[in-house]
Amino acid sequence: MNAAIEVRDLTKRFGAVTAVDAVSFSIRENAITGLLGRNGAGKTTLMQLLTGQQFATSGSILVGGAEPAENAAALERMCFVREAQRYPEDFRVQHVLRSARWFFPEWDAAFAQTLVTDFRLPLTRRVKKLSRGQLSAVGIVVGLASRAPITFFDEPYLGLDAVARQIFYDRLLADYAEHPRTVVLSTHLIDEVGALLERAIVIDDGRVLLDDDVDALRGTLTTVTGGVAAVDAFVGGRRVLHRQSVGSFASVTVGGLDDAARADAVRAGLELAPVSLQQLVVRTTTSAADPSASTGTEELE
Amino acid sequence: MSTALAARPARTASKTLAVARAYFANPWTTIATPLVVLAAVLLLNITIWAIISANLHDAGDRADFRDGVQWSGASSWMFVYMFVLAVQAITAQLPFALSYGATRRQFLAATGIVYLVLSVGYATLYTLLALVERVSNGWGFSGRMFTAVYFGADSWVARWLTFFALLLACFLVGSAFAAVYQRWRRTGLLLAFAVVAALVVGGAALLTLTEGWVAFGAGIASAWTSAGDLALPLFTTPFVVVGGLVTWLVVRRATITT
């Protein structure tokens, strides 16, 4: 695996607040990596550090072997689609596209035009007058058409309706298939985006909780459903991340079931279901937040 | 390291150029609007001078008018406009450039070039208009806008340098304050004003206590007269230098805050 970005012991403190706490990970080259986590987990700060827009307190970031901050050669290869992008006064959409062409050596104007039509962006409207969704769409157009070898999307779909989001995912995948590049995508809509992701890094409270291939992650947790007694008997001493019961039925989320255990569960008449990526992230971050009570429990009468 | 990443050479100069071009992406902001406003202000002034002229009946009145109109501040709005442009450069162009992968150094270099280009351009324009004003005897009505007394100068080179220095000073002082705001927000800005005020009041206090006002005033006056035509550009230079230095130092570690 070739790493486009290597991060070692990266820490960022804002006064008394530690936004990023000694994280280490690698971003695989030419893969779509998702940066997942709760609000305020540190995703945006991390992206800002990787793109040289914030200066690290300590630790190292290597993009192509060099620190990105104030490094023109490293930044040359990156495009960062921010959540709240500031545009110069009096810019209209057409000016954004015109400027982007100057900044990104690989800019594809024809592709940009296709995207503008897809998202129905008014070229002559002032950027200040765009709706939240249209603003996001402009950012997406720039991010996609830049063909930057390393492209970051920080919650790029804010305000976009479901149709527009689907257009984004489709265009991203189609272009990525033809012109592979490293994509890092931070998101709340984990299940929607989950199908795109090859790797996922889950961050909570400035620390990395999970960093793995999405396929591998999907197999780590399983939901076991059945009668309360049977479920409890099966689960035994395993670590339970979440428990939900309705009357005499219970549903628990457990980790690390191998084939033998699965066979046992089926024999005991229990139902096994895979846990979606979103549930995985939710369960993991919840239990990480409150490790003393290793079970989250919900009683529904 | 894969060959794909290593093969592409760094074209570091291109982002500096890109940042500079971004200032002119919408040509209205830096060129068209100032020119339109300039034309409008000039026309307005000429109209007013024409009206006044029609009501001047004797030589005494006309002398009065000429005396008064040399103090015209009509051309000063351009300097304020450039100050505002500089503020926008830091508050809007900087975050934009950083997001698109420019380094702060590239931004500073590009912005410096843009300031120089605009200062040269508009100084030249003002000097040419001053020439027209002189030649046309005040646009036909003894009016004065570009040859107002503030700009001094009998030599055209000195006149150009005056305009150039004033414009550049407006750009750099504007950037300096905007940069302080960008990096340290309101607290920083207030602190900056406090520092400037302290320096001024402190300086005044020092002069008062040492009874040095006379010497200070005499020193300034003699420096001014000995500089002759270049007095104003020379006295503007400290603002240019300090403004530029502050902008450079502050922006080097500036970050984008939303």
Instruction: Count interface pairs A-B at CB distance under 8 A.
Output: 117
- Average pLDDT for residues B221-242, to the nearest whole number? 88
Using a 10 angstrom Cβ sphere, with 0-12 exposed, 13-18 middle and 19 or more buried, the burial of residue A204 is: buried
- Average pLDDT for residues A268-290, to the nearest whole number? 82
Query: Which residues in A lie closer than 8 A to residue B110 (C-beta atoms)?
Result: none
CB-CB under 8 Å, B99 with A82: yes
* DSSP H helical ranges for chain B: 3-7, 12-22, 27, 33-54, 59-69, 77-88, 94-99, 104-135, 156-209, 213-227, 231-251
If interface means Cβ-Cβ distance under 8 Å, which residues of chain B face chain A?
Answer: 1-2, 4-6, 8, 10-12, 14-15, 17-18, 21-23, 25-26, 28-29, 88, 91-93, 95-96, 98-106, 253, 255-256, 258
The answer for A 46-65 residues in CB contact with B (under 8 A) is 48, 51-55, 64-65
- Average pLDDT for residues A121-127, to the nearest whole number? 95
User: pLDDT at residue A236 above 90?
Assistant: no
Which tokens hold the place of A206? 């400035």
Residue A183 Cα, gap to closest chain B Cα (Å):
14
The answer for A 264-283 residues in CB contact with B (under 8 A) is none
DSSP label of A301: -
How does pLDDT run across B103-150, given as a tens digit for each residue? 999 999 999 999 999 999 999 999 999 999 888 888 888 888 888 878
Query: What percent of chain A shows pLDDT beyond 90?
Result: 55
Query: Which residues in B lie closer than 8 A to residue A90 (C-beta atoms)?
Result: 26, 28-29
| Residue A290 confidence (pLDDT) | 67
Query: Which residues in A lie closer than 8 A to residue B12 (C-beta atoms)?
Result: 72-73, 76
| Residue B40 confidence (pLDDT) | 94
- Average pLDDT for residues A134-138, to the nearest whole number? 94
Out of A71, A80, A84, the one facing B103 most closely (by C-beta) is A71
Using a 10 angstrom Cβ sphere, with 0-12 exposed, 13-18 middle and 19 or more buried, the burial of residue A161 is: exposed
CB-CB under 8 Å, A70 with B98: no
CB-CB under 8 Å, B6 with A53: no
> Which residues have a Cβ under 8 Å from the Cβ of B251 and sit 6 or more positions away?
B90, B94, B104, B107, B108, B179, B182, B183
- Average pLDDT for residues A209-229, to the nearest whole number? 87
Which tokens hold the place of A198? 């090859």
CB-CB under 8 Å, A91 with B18: no
Residue to mutate among B8, B91, B99, with most A CBs inside 10 A, is B99
Kindly state the greatest CA–CA separation across chain B.
Answer: 87
Query: Which residues in A lie closer than 8 A to residue B107 (C-beta atoms)?
Result: none
How does pLDDT run across A8-36, given as a tens digit for each residue? 999 999 989 999 999 999 999 999 999 99
| pLDDT confidence tier of residue B56, bands split at 50, 70 and 90 | confident
Residue A50 Cα, gap to closest chain B Cα (Å):
11
Residue B45 Cα, gap to closest chain A Cα (Å):
28
| Residue B2 confidence (pLDDT) | 43
**Top-confidence residue, A241 or B249:** B249
> Which residues have a Cβ under 8 Å from the Cβ of A173 and sit 6 or more positions away?
A196
Three-state SS for A4? strand
CB-CB under 8 Å, A84 with B26: no
CB-CB under 8 Å, B258 with A88: no
CB burial of B50-66 (b: ≥16 within 10 Å; e: otherwise) equals eebbeebeeeeeeeebe
State how far the Cα of B80 lies from the Cα of B37, in Å rounded to an integer.
13
Residue to mutate among A89, A92, A151, with most B CBs inside 10 A, is A89
B99 → chain A, closest CA residue: A80
User: pLDDT at residue A230 above 80?
Assistant: yes
- What is the residue-wise DSSP string for B38-72? HHHHHHHHHHHHHHHHHT--SHHHHHHHHHHHTT-
CB-CB under 8 Å, B88 with A29: no
Out of A48, A78, A98, the one facing B25 most closely (by C-beta) is A98
DSSP label of A300: E
CB-CB under 8 Å, B258 with A76: no
| Residue A1 confidence (pLDDT) | 62
Among A33, A31, A80, residue whose Cα is nearest residue A54: A80
DSSP label of B5: H
How does pLDDT run across B168-212, given as a tens digit for each residue? 999 999 999 999 999 888 999 999 999 999 999 999 999 898 888
Return the beta strands (E) in chain A as ranges.
Answer: 3-14, 17-28, 32-37, 58-63, 78-81, 150-154, 182-187, 199-204, 207-213, 221-227, 240-246, 249-255, 271-274, 296-300
State how far the Cα of A244 lies from the Cα of A226, in Å rounded to an integer.
11
pTM for this prediction = 0.86
| Residue B46 confidence (pLDDT) | 92
Residues in chain A, overall count: 301
Residue with tokens 């990104």: A104
| Residue A200 confidence (pLDDT) | 93
State how far the Cα of A145 lies from the Cα of A93, in Å rounded to an integer.
14
Mean pLDDT over the full length of chain B: 88
A124 → chain B, closest CA residue: B26
CB-CB under 8 Å, A48 with B255: yes
CB-CB under 8 Å, A83 with B26: no
- What is the residue-wise DSSP string for A170-232? HHHHHHHHHS--EEEEEES-HHHHHTT-SEEEEEETTEEEEEEEHHHHHTTEEEEEEEHHHHH
Out of B1, B11, B256, the one facing A65 most closely (by C-beta) is B1
Residue B210 Cα, gap to closest chain A Cα (Å):
44
A6 → chain B, closest CA residue: B1
Query: What percent of chain B shows pLDDT beyond 70?
Result: 94
CB burial of A113-140 (b: ≥16 within 10 Å; e: otherwise) equals eebbebbebeeeeebeebeebbbbbbbb
The distance from CA A52 to its chain's CA centroid, rounded to whole angstroms, is 19
- Judge whether A89 is closer than 8 Å to chain B, CB to CB: yes
Out of B88, B95, B103, the one facing A75 most closely (by C-beta) is B103
State how far the Cα of A243 lies from the Cα of A251, in Å rounded to an integer.
6
Residue with tokens 């450069």: B89
Which amino acid belongs to residue A69? A
State how far the Cα of B173 lies from the Cα of B246, in Å rounded to an integer.
9
What is the ipTM for the molecules in this complex? 0.84
State how far the Cα of A127 lies from the Cα of B195, in Å rounded to an integer.
37
